[in-house]
Amino acid sequence: GTVVLAMRASVQRAAAEALGDQRGSVVVLDVATGGIVAMYSNPTFDPQPLAGHDTKAVADFFAALSADPAKPNLPRAFREIYPPGSTFKVVTTAVAFDTGTATPTSEYPVLSELDLPLTTNTLENFGGQTCGGTVFESFVQSCNTTFGAIGLQLGDRFPQGMARFGVGGDPPPLDVDPGAVASTGLAGTSFATDAPLFAFAGIGQGPVATTPLTMAMVAAAVANGG
Protein backbone atom coordinates (compact mmCIF):
# COMPACT_ATOMS: atom_id res chain seq x y z
CA GLY A 1 0.00 0.00 0.00
CA THR A 2 3.01 2.31 -0.05
CA VAL A 3 3.56 2.14 -3.80
CA VAL A 4 2.74 5.37 -5.66
CA LEU A 5 2.79 5.41 -9.46
CA ALA A 6 3.98 8.39 -11.46
CA MET A 7 1.60 7.53 -14.30
CA ARG A 8 -1.73 9.32 -14.57
CA ALA A 9 -4.64 7.53 -16.22
CA SER A 10 -6.14 10.80 -17.44
CA VAL A 11 -2.94 11.71 -19.33
CA GLN A 12 -2.66 8.16 -20.68
CA ARG A 13 -6.21 8.42 -22.02
CA ALA A 14 -5.44 11.83 -23.55
CA ALA A 15 -2.42 10.32 -25.33
CA ALA A 16 -4.53 7.47 -26.68
CA GLU A 17 -7.21 9.86 -27.91
CA ALA A 18 -4.63 12.14 -29.54
CA LEU A 19 -3.08 9.27 -31.48
CA GLY A 20 -6.44 7.88 -32.53
CA ASP A 21 -5.93 5.32 -35.30
CA GLN A 22 -2.41 6.50 -36.10
CA ARG A 23 0.53 4.22 -35.41
CA GLY A 24 3.01 5.68 -32.98
CA SER A 25 3.72 6.35 -29.35
CA VAL A 26 3.51 9.15 -26.80
CA VAL A 27 5.79 9.63 -23.79
CA VAL A 28 5.11 12.26 -21.13
CA LEU A 29 7.69 12.84 -18.39
CA ASP A 30 7.61 14.78 -15.13
CA VAL A 31 10.57 17.08 -15.72
CA ALA A 32 11.18 17.62 -12.01
CA THR A 33 11.38 13.94 -11.03
CA GLY A 34 11.95 12.02 -14.27
CA GLY A 35 8.81 10.03 -13.53
CA ILE A 36 6.77 8.69 -16.45
CA VAL A 37 3.36 10.38 -16.48
CA ALA A 38 2.11 8.62 -19.62
CA MET A 39 3.54 6.13 -22.10
CA TYR A 40 1.20 4.86 -24.79
CA SER A 41 1.73 2.89 -27.99
CA ASN A 42 -0.68 2.20 -30.83
CA PRO A 43 -1.71 -0.34 -32.08
CA THR A 44 -2.44 -1.74 -28.64
CA PHE A 45 -4.46 -4.60 -27.15
CA ASP A 46 -6.70 -5.47 -24.23
CA PRO A 47 -4.58 -7.43 -21.72
CA GLN A 48 -7.60 -8.86 -19.87
CA PRO A 49 -7.69 -12.18 -21.81
CA LEU A 50 -4.13 -12.88 -20.64
CA ALA A 51 -5.30 -12.86 -17.00
CA GLY A 52 -7.86 -15.68 -17.35
CA HIS A 53 -7.88 -19.07 -15.63
CA ASP A 54 -8.43 -21.02 -18.87
CA THR A 55 -4.82 -21.73 -19.78
CA LYS A 56 -5.66 -22.79 -23.33
CA ALA A 57 -7.64 -19.61 -23.97
CA VAL A 58 -4.77 -17.53 -22.55
CA ALA A 59 -2.24 -19.39 -24.72
CA ASP A 60 -4.39 -19.01 -27.81
CA PHE A 61 -4.80 -15.27 -27.22
CA PHE A 62 -1.06 -14.85 -26.67
CA ALA A 63 -0.31 -16.79 -29.86
CA ALA A 64 -2.70 -14.60 -31.84
CA LEU A 65 -1.08 -11.48 -30.42
CA SER A 66 2.39 -12.70 -31.31
CA ALA A 67 1.33 -13.57 -34.86
CA ASP A 68 -0.37 -10.24 -35.56
CA PRO A 69 1.77 -8.36 -38.15
CA ALA A 70 0.74 -5.03 -36.58
CA LYS A 71 2.61 -6.12 -33.40
CA PRO A 72 0.08 -4.75 -30.91
CA ASN A 73 2.06 -6.31 -28.06
CA LEU A 74 5.20 -4.30 -28.93
CA PRO A 75 5.55 -1.30 -26.59
CA ARG A 76 6.98 1.01 -29.23
CA ALA A 77 7.69 3.80 -26.74
CA PHE A 78 10.60 1.90 -25.19
CA ARG A 79 11.11 -1.38 -27.08
CA GLU A 80 11.56 -0.08 -30.65
CA ILE A 81 14.02 2.39 -32.15
CA TYR A 82 13.43 4.86 -34.97
CA PRO A 83 15.40 7.59 -36.77
CA PRO A 84 14.71 10.64 -34.56
CA GLY A 85 15.21 13.05 -37.47
CA SER A 86 15.23 16.74 -36.72
CA THR A 87 14.35 16.28 -33.03
CA PHE A 88 17.97 15.08 -32.72
CA LYS A 89 19.26 18.53 -33.67
CA VAL A 90 18.75 19.36 -29.99
CA VAL A 91 21.49 16.82 -29.17
CA THR A 92 23.77 18.03 -31.97
CA THR A 93 23.40 21.62 -30.77
CA ALA A 94 24.03 20.76 -27.13
CA VAL A 95 27.16 18.75 -27.94
CA ALA A 96 28.44 21.57 -30.16
CA PHE A 97 27.94 24.12 -27.38
CA ASP A 98 29.37 21.86 -24.65
CA THR A 99 32.52 21.15 -26.65
CA GLY A 100 33.02 24.76 -27.77
CA THR A 101 32.61 23.72 -31.39
CA ALA A 102 29.92 26.36 -31.97
CA THR A 103 27.90 29.06 -30.24
CA PRO A 104 24.41 30.35 -30.99
CA THR A 105 25.95 33.08 -33.17
CA SER A 106 28.38 30.87 -35.13
CA GLU A 107 27.80 31.39 -38.86
CA TYR A 108 27.27 28.66 -41.45
CA PRO A 109 26.97 29.08 -45.23
CA VAL A 110 23.61 29.35 -46.93
CA LEU A 111 23.29 26.15 -48.95
CA SER A 112 20.78 23.80 -50.53
CA GLU A 113 23.08 20.79 -50.12
CA LEU A 114 26.27 19.98 -48.21
CA ASP A 115 29.20 18.25 -49.89
CA LEU A 116 30.26 15.18 -47.90
CA PRO A 117 33.89 14.10 -47.50
CA LEU A 118 35.10 10.73 -48.81
CA THR A 119 32.23 10.55 -51.30
CA THR A 120 30.52 12.37 -54.16
CA ASN A 121 27.21 12.30 -52.26
CA THR A 122 25.62 15.32 -50.63
CA LEU A 123 23.29 15.98 -47.72
CA GLU A 124 20.26 17.97 -48.85
CA ASN A 125 17.82 20.24 -47.09
CA PHE A 126 14.19 19.23 -46.90
CA GLY A 127 12.43 19.91 -50.17
CA GLY A 128 15.61 21.29 -51.72
CA GLN A 129 15.32 24.47 -49.68
CA THR A 130 18.23 26.86 -49.17
CA CYS A 131 19.14 27.81 -45.61
CA GLY A 132 22.00 28.65 -43.26
CA GLY A 133 23.15 31.58 -41.15
CA THR A 134 23.76 31.45 -37.41
CA VAL A 135 23.20 28.30 -35.38
CA PHE A 136 20.18 30.03 -33.84
CA GLU A 137 18.70 30.86 -37.24
CA SER A 138 19.50 27.37 -38.55
CA PHE A 139 17.84 25.79 -35.52
CA VAL A 140 14.67 27.81 -36.08
CA GLN A 141 14.64 26.69 -39.73
CA SER A 142 15.74 23.11 -38.89
CA CYS A 143 18.44 23.51 -41.53
CA ASN A 144 19.98 20.15 -42.48
CA THR A 145 23.12 21.54 -44.09
CA THR A 146 24.12 23.48 -40.97
CA PHE A 147 23.63 20.56 -38.61
CA GLY A 148 25.32 18.18 -41.02
CA ALA A 149 28.27 20.58 -41.04
CA ILE A 150 28.28 20.67 -37.24
CA GLY A 151 28.34 16.86 -37.18
CA LEU A 152 31.43 16.96 -39.38
CA GLN A 153 33.05 19.59 -37.17
CA LEU A 154 32.42 17.54 -34.05
CA GLY A 155 34.10 14.50 -35.54
CA ASP A 156 35.13 11.92 -32.96
CA ARG A 157 33.81 14.10 -30.12
CA PHE A 158 30.27 13.47 -31.35
CA PRO A 159 29.84 9.86 -30.12
CA GLN A 160 30.86 10.75 -26.57
CA GLY A 161 28.53 13.74 -26.59
CA MET A 162 25.63 11.57 -27.76
CA ALA A 163 26.35 9.05 -25.02
CA ARG A 164 25.76 11.75 -22.41
CA PHE A 165 22.19 11.87 -23.70
CA GLY A 166 21.89 8.09 -23.58
CA VAL A 167 22.39 7.54 -27.30
CA GLY A 168 24.85 4.82 -28.23
CA GLY A 169 25.28 3.70 -24.63
CA ASP A 170 23.22 1.89 -22.00
CA PRO A 171 19.42 1.92 -22.28
CA PRO A 172 17.49 4.12 -19.86
CA PRO A 173 16.49 2.44 -16.58
CA LEU A 174 12.85 1.41 -16.58
CA ASP A 175 10.89 -0.42 -13.88
CA VAL A 176 9.36 -3.00 -16.21
CA ASP A 177 10.53 -6.33 -17.61
CA PRO A 178 11.64 -6.48 -20.34
CA GLY A 179 13.09 -3.01 -20.02
CA ALA A 180 13.91 -0.34 -22.55
CA VAL A 181 16.17 -1.13 -25.50
CA ALA A 182 19.33 0.82 -26.22
CA SER A 183 19.49 3.53 -28.84
CA THR A 184 22.17 3.45 -31.53
CA GLY A 185 24.58 6.24 -32.38
CA LEU A 186 28.08 6.47 -33.78
CA ALA A 187 29.70 3.89 -31.51
CA GLY A 188 32.20 1.78 -33.43
CA THR A 189 32.68 4.37 -36.17
CA SER A 190 35.70 6.52 -36.90
CA PHE A 191 35.55 9.99 -38.39
CA ALA A 192 38.64 9.22 -40.46
CA THR A 193 36.82 6.47 -42.36
CA ASP A 194 33.11 7.18 -41.79
CA ALA A 195 32.88 10.98 -41.97
CA PRO A 196 29.60 11.10 -43.98
CA LEU A 197 27.84 9.20 -41.20
CA PHE A 198 28.72 12.01 -38.79
CA ALA A 199 26.94 14.51 -41.03
CA PHE A 200 23.81 12.36 -41.23
CA ALA A 201 23.96 11.77 -37.48
CA GLY A 202 23.88 15.54 -37.04
CA ILE A 203 20.32 15.54 -38.42
CA GLY A 204 19.21 12.40 -36.60
CA GLN A 205 19.55 10.02 -39.52
CA GLY A 206 22.14 7.50 -40.73
CA PRO A 207 23.28 5.31 -37.84
CA VAL A 208 21.20 7.15 -35.22
CA ALA A 209 18.04 5.41 -34.02
CA THR A 210 16.35 6.06 -30.68
CA THR A 211 13.33 5.07 -28.65
CA PRO A 212 10.63 7.71 -28.19
CA LEU A 213 11.42 7.44 -24.45
CA THR A 214 15.02 8.50 -25.10
CA MET A 215 13.96 11.57 -27.07
CA ALA A 216 11.51 12.52 -24.30
CA MET A 217 14.48 12.32 -21.91
CA VAL A 218 16.47 14.59 -24.24
CA ALA A 219 13.67 17.15 -24.10
CA ALA A 220 13.52 16.80 -20.31
CA ALA A 221 17.27 17.37 -20.05
CA VAL A 222 16.81 20.74 -21.76
CA ALA A 223 13.77 21.60 -19.67
CA ASN A 224 15.47 20.81 -16.34
CA GLY A 225 18.70 22.60 -17.15
CA GLY A 226 20.79 19.58 -17.98
Rounded-to-integer distance, Cα 205 and Cα 125, Å: 13
DSSP assignment of 1-48: -----S--HHHHHHHHHHHTTS-EEEEEE-TTT--EEEEEEES----G
Measuring CA to CA, which residue among 219, 215, 213, 200 is closest to residue 154?
Answer: 200
Q: Which of 25, 41, 66, 86 is catalytic?
A: 86
CA atoms within 13 A on the CB side of 111: 18
86 catalytic? Reply is: yes
Please identify every residue annotated as catalytic. Answer: 86
